[in-house]
């Protein structure tokens, strides 16, 4: 039986108050006119870690193989996944300077999820009044606020 691959659009963002500090991640997932918002927070983290976490958490929501158009305002995430990852893997998780890749466990998680889906990575300029990117940013900041209120679990 033939199953049509589902097409999903995702906007992700991460936030951090201090770097390292309290951080949050957020994502907006769009499928067939429906929207889902997810967010969460983490203590003692970095902005780059939260940007990665946003993409990981969003892709983890997908139950079946999907064609994904994933928007991020993080050049770190987009360049990492599109330009650096293959060499990191080939070099046993070392950079071109022979140093360990930062955030290796997060990159490995993201890589595994990307193998399950057809992901097209798109960069969008942050804080440029793009409605869906602004929503992902607001969700990431909601994740940070959640920590201030003493909650530690992700919110939906």
Residues assigned a catalytic role? 13-14, 51, 73, 127, 137
Local structure of 9: helix, strand or coil: strand
Handedness of CA 76, 78, 82, 86 (dihedral sign): positive
CA atoms of 49 and 102, how far apart (whole Å): 9
Characterize 80-93 residue by residue with b for buried, 16 or more Cβ atoms within 10 angstroms of its Cβ, and e for exposed.
bbeeebeebeeeee
- By the 8 A CB rule, do 4 and 106 touch? no
Distances (CA, A) of 154 to 23, 77, 103, 111: 12, 21, 20, 22
Give dist(CA 98, CA 95) in Å, integer. Answer: 5
The three-class DSSP label of residue 15 is: strand
């Amino acid at each position: 039986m033939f199953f049509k691959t589902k097409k999903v659009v995702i906007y992700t963002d991460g936030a951090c108050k201090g770097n390292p500090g309290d951080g949050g991640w957020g994502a907006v997932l769009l499928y067939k006119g429906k929207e889902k918002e997810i967010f969460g927070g983490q203590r003692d983290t970095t902005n780059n870690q939260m940007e990665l976490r946003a993409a990981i958490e969003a892709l983890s929501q997908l139950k079946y193989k999907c064609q994904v158009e994933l928007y991020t305002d993080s050049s770190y995430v987009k360049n990492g996944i599109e330009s650096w990852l293959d060499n990191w893997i080939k070099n046993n998780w070392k950079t071109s300077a022979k140093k360990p890749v930062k955030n290796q466990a997060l990159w490995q998680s993201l890589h595994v999820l990307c193998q399950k889906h057809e992901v097209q990575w798109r960069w969008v300029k942050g804080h440029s009044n793009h409605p869906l990117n602004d929503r992902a940013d607001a969700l990431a900041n909601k994740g940070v606020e959640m920590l201030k209120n003493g909650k530690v679990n992700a919110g939906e």
